[in-house]
Amino acid sequence: MSADTRRRSAWTIVNVVVVLYALFPVWWIAALSFKDPSTLTDGDFVPRRWTLENYRGIFRTSEFTRALLNSVGIAVIATTVAVVLGTMAAYAVARLRFPGKRLLIGMSLLIAMFPPISLVSPLFDIERVLGLFDTWAGLIIPYTTFSLPLAIYTLSAFFREIPWDLEKAARVDGATPWQAFRLVIAPLAAPGVFTTAILVFIFCWNDFLFAISLTSTRAARTVPAAIAFFTGSSQFQQPTGSIAAAAMVITVPIVVFVLLFQRRIVAGLTAGAVKG
């Protein structure tokens, strides 16, 4: 009994330490975003005077709001394209035997392995020639490319877990291949598609490297890149408060989103009961 209690309290302490360690920078940024400029550098972890001035500031000009719109639009489109293509590719990888399947998987993995920094300069040149530089499409295309391997990989694992017999049963029951996919396979793969969509969205949402290299104006600049161009209200003022506020604005929705759906994702993963 006492050993049990001791073990439990030890675990609690370890957990608390880990959580504190992980959340400390987040808390710091949050605290900075609520400080007014005069106390910004006081080093306190809790703002002495709370203010929403930083938040009001970033929404006052279109610099940030336009970037937010770019971020949402680009991430949503790239995610949709990647998940739709990824679903089809993953289904093929999981279900069909076709020549060059291993090659396909290998190639897609290869893309994921490439350090993106090595591709930035060629991409920059290509996009300038093609007129894609500093456009939404100029970011959506590389995002789709680089998140597809991830999407195919996660989704094919999901599809593989769905017994092939289910599809055969549906076809014998009178379904066309498309009906079998829509009425039997897709509902079962939905949690997987959802999980993949979240992962891909976060990848696009957080990307800084492509966003900073392949944009030059507010036409397509996403929030992470836009933050880097923040200026203070005067030449001598650091934009620390605004940066902190902007970081909070783009982080919190994702965190809330994942927390909300985490249970469903996990439930979707475990509520298989597919096997007889």
Partner 1 sequence: MAELVLDGLTKHYPDGAVAVRGVDLTVADGEFVILVGPSGCGKSTTLNMIAGLEDITAGTLRIGGRVVNDLAPKDRDIAMVFQSYALYPHMTVRQNMGFALRLAGTDKAEIARKVEEAARVLDLTEHLERRPALLSGGQRQRVAMGRAIVRAPKAFLMDEPLSNLDAQLRVQMRTQISRLQRRLGTTTVYVTHDQVEAMTLGDRVVVMRGGAVQQVGAPQELYDRPVNLFVAGFIGSPAMNVLDATLEEGALRTALGELPLDDRLRRRLEEADAPRRVVVGIRPEHFEDAALLEQRHGGRTVTVGVEVLESVGSDVFVHFTPQDGTAAGPEVVARIGTATRAAEGRPLELWVDTARMHVFDPETGAALTSAAR
Using CB under 8 A, list all residues that contact partner 1: 163, 165-166, 168-176, 179, 183-184, 187-188, 271-276
- Best CA proximity match to 155, nearest among 206, 107, 191: 191
Beta partners for 35? 50
CB of residue 102 to partner 1, shortest distance in Å: 16
Are the beta carbons of 242 and 58 closer than 8 angstroms? Answer: yes
- Best CA proximity match to 141, nearest among 220, 235, 88: 220
What is the 8-class DSSP label of residue 39? G
Q: Which is nearer to partner 1, 57 or 192 (CB)?
A: 192
- CA–CA–CA angle 87, 261, 178 (5° rounding): 25
Q: Which is nearer to partner 1, 21 or 178 (CB)?
A: 178
- Best CA proximity match to 241, nearest among 255, 226, 254, 230: 230
CB of residue 185 to partner 1, shortest distance in Å: 10
CB of residue 268 to partner 1, shortest distance in Å: 11
Dist. CA 139–CA 128, nearest whole Å: 13
For 112, the 3-state DSSP assignment is helix
Dist. CA 205–CA 211, nearest whole Å: 10
Q: Which is nearer to partner 1, 103 or 271 (CB)?
A: 271
Dist. CA 119–CA 172, nearest whole Å: 48
- What lies within 8 Å, CB to CB, of 37 at 6+ separation is 53, 237, 241
Q: Which is nearer to partner 1, 129 or 273 (CB)?
A: 273
Number of other residues whose CB lies within 10 A of the CB of residue 142:
25
